[in-house]
Chain A
Amino acid sequence: NAGVTQTPKFQVLKTGQSMTLQCAQDMNHNSMYWYRQDPGMGLRLIYYSASEGTTDKGEVPNGYNVSRLNKREFSLRLESAAPSQTSVYFCAAHRDTSYEQYFGPGTRLTVT
């Protein structure tokens, strides 16, 4: 039981390049989330998915797209990376019977 897994762990992109961050959970939870963590700003919600086939914008969705491929997987795509997207990205899955969230180990992204 791995919980929430994320790939890659580290990535360096040049401005304008695209990439997809992958997230998978094996806990059979319906809801999944993407956050970014920046110094002094805590965690900010980018997108979330309450169930397979649905996605909704969070606090900072601009420059990102998401895809809830199935119940297990929730990917985050940067179509044209910008230096302002340099951050640590966390995926989380939400336990349906309570308000607890379980986090992946994070992806550290640098855009130069």
Chain B
Amino acid sequence: GDSVTQMEGPVTLSEEAFLTINCTYTATGYPSLFWYVQYPGEGLQLLLKATKADDKGSNKGFEATYRKETTSFHLEKGSVQVSDSAVYFCALVNTGFQKLVFGTGTRLLVSP
């Protein structure tokens, strides 16, 4: 079945550092890919998405590019802030299905 693998956390960075959180997937067909973010005590929010190969999703300074050749959707940000501290989930949904498949989440801790 479809699956998503994320790098384990926590990822600990200083403010203004560069962020990469790795995500790879296994899926048949042509899934859509997502990054969701969960701030402490809250539900998940959609951060960005990409629906086809080579698409780049972006939002709030975060970016991720849908790489079909490497089945990856790595999340990047050039300069993180303390307010970016959260848990980040990579997810996919396959065409024709409505069920999201989530990775296990990666906790990001940013210190001043």
| Those of B73-112 within 8 Å (CB) of chain A | 89, 93, 98-100, 102-105
- Tell me which residues across on chain A come within 8 A of B99, comparing CB atoms: 33, 45, 48, 58
Complex Cα distance, B99 from A50, in Å, reads: 10
What residues on B are CB-neighbors of A40 within 8 Å? 104
**CB contact under 8 A between A43 and B43, given known A48-B99, A99-B98:** no
- The interface size of chain B toward A, counting residues with CB under 8 Å, comes to 20
Nearest A residue to B103, CB-CB: A42
Within 8 A of B (CB), among A1-25: 4
Contact between chains at B102 and A42 (CB < 8 Å): yes
Q: Which positions in B face A, CB cutoff 8 Å?
A: 32, 34, 36, 41-46, 49, 51, 89, 93, 98-100, 102-105
A→B interface (CB under 8 Å): 4, 31, 33, 40-43, 45, 48, 50, 58, 90, 92, 94, 99-106
